Amino acid sequence: MKIKKDVVEIVFNSLEGQLSREQIEHMLEKPQYDYMGDLAFPCFTLAKLFRQSPQSIASDIASKITNPLVEKVEAVRGYVNVFLKRDKVTNEVINEVNRSAQEYGNLDIGRGEVVTLDFSSPNIAKPFSMGHLRSTVIGNSLALVAEKCGYKTVKINHIGDWGTQFGKLIVAYRLWGKEDTLRQDPIKELLKLYVHFHEKAEHDPSLNDQAREWFKKLEEGNEEARSLWTWFREESLQEFSKIYKKLGITFDSYHGEAFYNDKMQRIVDLLEEKKMLEQSEGAHVVPLEDLPPCLIRKRDGSTLYATRDLAAAVYRQENYHFKKSLYVVGNEQSLHFQQLFTVLKKMGYEWQKGMEHISFGMMLKDGKKMSTRKGKIVLLEEVIQEAISLAMKNINDKNPQLEAKEEVARHVGTGAIIFHDLKHHRSNDIEFSLEDMLRFEGETGPYVQYTHARASSLLVKGQFEKDSDHVGIDDKEAWSVVTQLMYFPNVIKRASENSDPSQIAKYVVELSRAFNQYYGSVRVLDDASKRQARLSLVYSVKAVLKEGLRLLGLQAPEKM
């Protein structure tokens, strides 16, 4: 909004360039209480810089702020508190939102540069569990936020389609599998075989030797091994695509681990050329100063995750020319990514500066990590189906005549699951609770979706004329809604800078609350002379809620 840019410019000039405009904008706050103003700039960090007290600096800045949208400015306890002319600002904000609707909050931080996002990445021949949900929805939201900020995105699903687990599955299928049973329900049957293998291997270690032998055969191109691997992979991708369709998520690339099999030798050769490889107990490693050595090739000559990820990073830079490359992978892989980025830096690749591990906490069940190996998982597809069924029950109870009930139930059910994840800061672990996930009141996706539907209904009832000029809105109750609308671009910027979708999730809840309080205290449609002006505020709320939900990967039903 222009008033904020004006305040930033005045502060910037007052500080004689000691802070950048971006730093100043980042420091601007929304005061906790109304009596403290509408914008606040804290001066405490500037005291050392200028060798003056925070209060003296605040007084100096406050004396320079003049603007037709500013009512008054106060310097209080080291803060510059700016009070806005609420009637003028209200109309400016509403007009700005209504003019641009979906484009409101668009930023040009990215300037058309490419961001690759590596996320979701489930393992072939294993079910898509709740444990995979976090990477999937966080990565998707970050891609949408990046696009909102002017980046071009490449969404990569780095499928886990290689490794010794395939040796285990091939052995299990050859010993206990039946083709007919597997074709009826591939993923469920493959999970059974995988769990059964581990149960048996605890008492018969020779099974692990057989698994290693079969994986070696797969690597060498054995026809039977290759045929089973291809079958398991195709069946898995079909099952995954059903889940992604329900969640409304798409990818630009499904290049998994196997794709890089013929690209790893080049990396090993490069490391040898640069004299970075050392032998350690028969294996080849890259020694690193402050980290454990990065293992590149095992004693038996086979490569590892690090080799594969180095090959993937080089491939992505050469093919996509990324400015930033984000890996949305759990906290437990932090060391792996520190090693990966450090090795790339030692190889002389400047572009590695744009690479970042977007870590997140685990989805826990009864306080413990879910384990496919032990069969202790919760299937995402079953949770989605249960959420949709509960949404349908609510619709049938409260609005049985609703049009397109099945579609609305799907949007609300999947929205409840996605929102429940994204409202938590990504670094926190989440305890799996179906009850909490499917709650439809409080800080939930359905609450925000219902608020959007309520706004849509008001616009229809009031016959809102979007493109007409409306008399300014003067309801004092509208101010909390207006200030929320004003901060939307800032929220998007923070979500982008911190790779944190929870900023947007919390924001749409707060905007919904502010709007519902306004709706509860002002009879929007009663006064014909004010109706269209009030509906212009309602339209702004609807537009921003819809865009906020979209950035989280949720649909915004018109009716509920």
Q: Directed axis angle between helix 206-219 and helix 186-201, to 10°?
A: 130
Weakest mean pLDDT among 63-67, 284-288, 369-373? 369-373
Q: Which of 558, 556, 542, 521 is nearest to 466 (CA)?
A: 542
The mean predicted confidence, pLDDT, of the chain is: 92
- pLDDT bin (cut points 50, 70, 90) of residue 13 is confident
Dump pLDDT digits (tens) for 115-146.
999 999 999 888 888 878 999 999 999 999 99
Q: Is the pLDDT of residue 495 over 80?
A: yes
Query: How many CB atoms neighbour CB 95 within 10 A?
Result: 15
Give the helix/strand (H/E) hosting 75.
Answer: strand 70-76
DSSP 417: H
- pLDDT bin (cut points 50, 70, 90) of residue 226 is very high
Question: Can you give the pLDDT at residue 167?
Answer: 94
Q: Which of 281, 286, 330, 320 is nearest to 306 (CA)?
A: 286
Q: Is the pLDDT of residue 366 over 90?
A: no
Question: Can you give the pLDDT at residue 382?
Answer: 87
Q: Is the distance from CB of 416 to CB of 436 less than 8 angstroms?
A: no
Q: Is the pLDDT of residue 244 over 90?
A: yes
Weakest mean pLDDT among 46-60, 187-201, 268-282, 429-443? 429-443
Which residues, 6+ apart, have CB-to-CB distance to 255 below 8 Å? Answer: 156, 158, 159, 312
Mean of the pLDDT values across residues 171-178? 96
Q: Is the distance from CB of 171 to CB of 134 less than 8 angstroms?
A: no
* pTM assigned to the model: 0.92
Question: Can you give the pLDDT at residue 373?
Answer: 54
- pLDDT bin (cut points 50, 70, 90) of residue 469 is low
DSSP 292: P
Question: Can you give the pLDDT at residue 374?
Answer: 57
DSSP 130: G
Dump pLDDT digits (tens) for 283-331.
999 999 999 999 998 887 777 889 999 999 999 999 999 999 999 999 9
* Encoded tokens for 397: 């109870």
Question: Can you give the pLDDT at residue 470?
Answer: 63
Question: Can you give the pLDDT at residue 460?
Answer: 96
| Domains of the chain with CATH codes | 2-84 (3.30.1360.70), 114-261+321-369 (3.40.50.620)
Q: Is the pLDDT of residue 1 over 70?
A: no
Q: Is the pLDDT of residue 376 over 90?
A: no
> Of the spans 96-100, 332-336, 383-387, which averages the highest pLDDT?
332-336
Alpha carbon distance 543, 546 (integer Å): 5
Q: Is the distance from CB of 395 to CB of 440 less than 8 angstroms?
A: no
Dump pLDDT digits (tens) for 202-211.
999 999 999 9
Q: How many residues does the chain have?
A: 560
Dump pLDDT digits (tens) for 182-201.
988 888 899 899 999 999 99
Q: Are strands 324-328 and 114-118 parallel, antiparallel or unpaired?
A: parallel
- pLDDT bin (cut points 50, 70, 90) of residue 110 is very high
Q: Is the pLDDT of residue 15 over 90?
A: no
Dump pLDDT digits (tens) for 403-437.
999 999 999 999 999 999 999 999 999 887 777 77
Q: What percent of the chain has pLDDT over 70?
A: 98
Helix residue ranges per DSSP H, 37-163: 47-50, 54-62, 86-100, 133-148
Question: Can you give the pLDDT at residue 230?
Answer: 94
Dump pLDDT digits (tens) for 387-397.
999 999 989 99
Instruction: Please provide residue 315's backbone torsions phi and psi, each rounded to the nearest 5 degrees.
Output: -60, -45
* Encoded tokens for 332: 């437990």
- pLDDT bin (cut points 50, 70, 90) of residue 553 is very high
DSSP string, 156-174: E---B--SHHHHHHHHHHH
